[in-house]
Homo-oligomer: A and B are copies of this chain.
Amino acid sequence: MASPLVISIDAMGGDHGPSVILPGVQKAVQALGAKKVRFLLHGDEAAMRAVLATHPELAGCCELRPADSVIAMDAKPAHAMRRGKGSSMWNAVESVRTGEAKAAVSAGNTGALMAISRLLLRTVGNLDRPALVANWPTMRGATSVLDVGANIVCDAERLVQFAILGAAYHRAIHRVAQPSVGLLNVGVETEKGHDDVRSADKVLRSVGLDIDYRGFVEGDDIAKGTVDVVVTDGFTGNVALKTGEGLARFFRAELRKTFTENLLARLGAVVAQGALRRMSARLDPGGINGGPFLGLNGIVVKSHGGTDAGGFATAIRMAVDLAGSDFVAEIARNLSLAPAGDFEPARERTVA
C-alpha cells in the first residue's frame, strides 16, 4: 500500500501539552524527511488550533481529533481506566486498537497510559503487563535494558518473555540482525543468583527460541555493551536505570566543578568545550527520550512528561521505526515457542 504511515498523538500529554507536543511533531516531520507520515492529533480543539496557527506547515500532515477531556498527570491508573474514556490519551490508544493508526505516542501520566493501553490493546501471550525498555548508552553504542519498572516482581517465565520482547525491540530500533541477549545476575556462573534467574537461564539455553542468548551478565556489562539486550526484573532494572541517571548527573556536576576550580582549568574547559558538549550528551542512561510498552498487541510509546519538542520528536521517530518493523508478529511467534510448562516452580527463592 502506498498510503502513508499513521501515528496517533496525545496532544495534551506531558507537562506543557500542545505547546511542546505540536512543535515536537513538526521536528519529527523535518527529521523524517521524505518518509511520509500522517498524524492524528487528539486533544482540546481550541488549544491545538492556537498552536497550529503558528505552525502552518503541519496542516498538510495532521488531522485534529477533538477529545472531551485530559487525564491529569497525577491521576491514579484505576481512575484513568474507569473515567478516561473520551480523553486525548484514551482516544490516541483507541486509534491503534481500531487499526486507524499503527502507533500511539503520549507524554502523559505513565501509569494511566499503561492501564489504558492494557485495557484497549491487551498484552500478548500471558504477560500481565507490558515491559518498559531503556536505551542505555554504552562503549559500543546502545544497549536495551528491560524491564525498567513496569513489572516489579518477575518469575522465570516473565524473564524469558522479556528476552523475546527485548530482542525484537532491539532489532527493530537498532537494525541489528540478531541481537545478543544477556540475563542480569550477580555473577556469570550458572549457579549464581536466585531461583528465578537460574530457571530462566536454563529455559533460554534449552528451548529453541530464535534468540542469540549469551547467559548471565553483571551490572558492569551494561555500560561495557557486552550484549545488545539486558534482561532483568522491573525492580532491579528500575534501580539500575535510576542509579545510572543519578551517577551521570553526578559526573556532570563534578566536571563542571572541576572546570571552574582555578583559572587554568577554566581555560582548559573553554578550549575543550565543543568536545565536552558532545560527550555530555552521550552519558545519561535516561537521556534518550521515548520508551515503548513492549508486549502489547499494538505500539504505544511513552515520552517523558517533562520533555521538550526535540525529545518528543525522538519518541515519535521510535514509534515510526517500530511501526515500520515486523516486531509485533515476531514477538508473537517467539512467545508461542516458550510454553509456560517448561518452567520449574521457583516461587521460594533460594540462594547460591
Contacts and interface: CB of A to CB of B under 8 A. Distances in A.
B271 A245 contact: no
Interface stretch (A7-15, A274-282, A320-328): A274-282
A258 B244 contact: no
Interface in A272-299: 272-276, 278-279, 282-283, 285
A259 B255 CA distance: 13
Given A139-B250, A251-B251, A245 B219 contact: yes
Q: How many copies does the complex hold?
A: 2
A235 B193 contact: yes
Contact of A246 (B220, B232, B350): B220
Interface in A231-278: 232, 234-236, 238-251, 253-255, 257-259, 261-262, 264-265, 267-276, 278
A333 interface: no
B271 A249 contact: no
The CB with the most chain B CB atoms within 10 A, among A149, A236, A244, A250, is that of A250
A153 B258 contact: no
A283 B252 CA distance: 11
A82 interface: no
Interface of A: 137-139, 149, 151-153, 184, 186, 193-194, 218-224, 232, 234-236, 238-251, 253-255, 257-259, 261-262, 264-265, 267-276, 278-279, 282-283, 285, 347-352
Given A139-B250, A186-B239, 12 more contacts: A152-B194, A152-B351, A218-B239, A220-B243, A222-B243, A240-B240, A254-B279, A254-B283, A258-B278, A261-B275, A265-B271, A267-B271
